[in-house]
Amino acid sequence: MSHQQKILFHLPISNPPDALNGTNGRVLGMLKYFHDRRDRFAVDAIAGNKFGVPEWNDDRQLDVLKFVDNIFVYRGESNWSDFVYTRAQSFYHQRLLRQQLPVDSDYFAPPGYVSYLTKLLAQRSYDFIWINNLDYAHLASDLRSPKLQTVIDIHDITTRFRLVRKKIDFSKNLKFDYQANFEREIALLDRFDNVIVDSQFERNILAKELSPAKLHFIPSQVNGLDSGSNSTPYLARRFEYDVLFVGSDNQPNREGMQFFLDEVLPLIVEQKPALKVAIAGKISSVVRVEPVLAKNLMCLGYVPDLSELYLKSRLVICPLRTGAGTKFKLVEAMAYAMPIVATIHSASALSLVDRVNAFITDDPVAYADRVLRLIHEPELAARCSVQISQTYASQHESAAIYTKLDAIFEADLVKTAV
């Protein structure tokens, strides 16, 4: 490579970039890739404040500058034009039409934000612009230049994620036409040179709609959790908890845990009365359980460092039955070589195979049986631990992911040179 390729990387979040969950973990993994390839790439970041909320303060910008050369922040907190523009969309669709915003709305990328980015592109010569999440696609969807390659990492198929909103109070009474919105989502994605997805299940859906040359499957990684994370062999670990669930307070987590607590936990406790279930994250403040089972739950709240908790737990559960995209909590559990019991839905994005490197079932009785087997048969749990460690190494460690990302940029360099 004769010179560094210049990347403009869009940040969709304002939370500290070292937070290892969901979107944050995905974005951090990509920033780490660019930083580790700094001999090849010069990377700037762009972010936007919401109206009235200066989220990207100095401290958060300094966090990002550990990974990139510059960060440019759109001061949307004082742009009344964008405020009126976005609120008009919200009023029209949600109040008048009584429907959710279309998935291809530019609500999160209003004209002022687009103009800010366009001026930045005119001032600085970039080879690639990288957008995170379909919500922000309009920042770059209309850019047309043979010298500028556009990339969007969608994280989730937005249309599938919007179905979850049908169960949330503020939007459960709003209409949502799945097929019409899915077609609009595909049309918007097709404007990009490259579309990245982190879910195998969603890749299979999009593969029917987008060209193979455009669509790329890049699994999520957990920053700092490569081979050394699971260095303690399973049988050498000292367990304090039998079962672990980690999650934030959102609708899929609430529904999934309620399914486990109502339909699965009583069956397990019947066979193992002293069962200890650790629940970490904000979800622990909203779970409901029968009083007789309360003694089996250890609601830990926010845990800043989960590494010790993983290594003190016999197995991880992921009983989610709704939501979209990759369940980042499972990727993190894989990094610690944790035996996993998951539902079909929660496992579908990952390279998890029932009875090979995980136990996967939607049936409450079978779910309880799988948990009990892993608790009562430590040799079985140890074999699962080895298998999941090998899967993580081949799919999610930096070496595997970096190879896939390198291939994208090398291919696009050939395109732009022609």
Q: What is the pLDDT of residues 262-320, one digit of tens each?
A: 999 999 999 999 999 999 999 988 888 888 999 999 999 988 888 899 999 999 999 99
Structure tokens at 195: 């579309």
Higher pLDDT, 159 or 13: 159
361-385 pLDDT, tens digit per residue, is: 999 999 999 999 999 999 999 999 9
pLDDT given at position 228 = 46
Confidence label for 18 from pLDDT (cuts 50, 70 and 90): very low
- Architecture of the domain whose range is 5-221+398-417: 3-Layer(aba) Sandwich (3.40)
At residue 227, the pLDDT reads 47
Dihedral through CA 310, CA 19, CA 38, CA 151, nearest 10?
A: 110
H-helix segments, 287-363: 307-311, 328-335, 344-347
Q: Mind listing the pLDDT tens digit for each residue in 135-178?
A: 999 999 999 888 899 999 998 899 988 877 666 666 678 889 99
pLDDT of residue 340: 96
| Mean pLDDT in residue range 325-344 | 89
Q: What is the mean pLDDT of residues 71-76?
A: 95
* Same fold across 5-221+398-417 and 227-395: yes
Task: Give percent above pLDDT 90 in the chain.
Answer: 64
- Answer with the residue of higher pLDDT: 370 or 352: 370
Buried b / exposed e over 300-317, threshold 16 CB at 10 Å, is beeeeebeebbbebbbbb
| Whole-number average pLDDT of the chain | 89
What is 227-395's CATH topology? Rossmann fold (3.40.50)
Q: 219: which residues sit within 8 A by CB, 6+ positions away?
A: 198, 326, 331, 350, 395, 396, 400, 401
Domain ranges in the chain are 5-221+398-417, 227-395
pLDDT bucket at 324, cuts 50 / 70 / 90: low
C-alpha span between 344 and 238 (Å, rounded): 30
What integer pLDDT is reported at residue 89 of this predicted model?
94
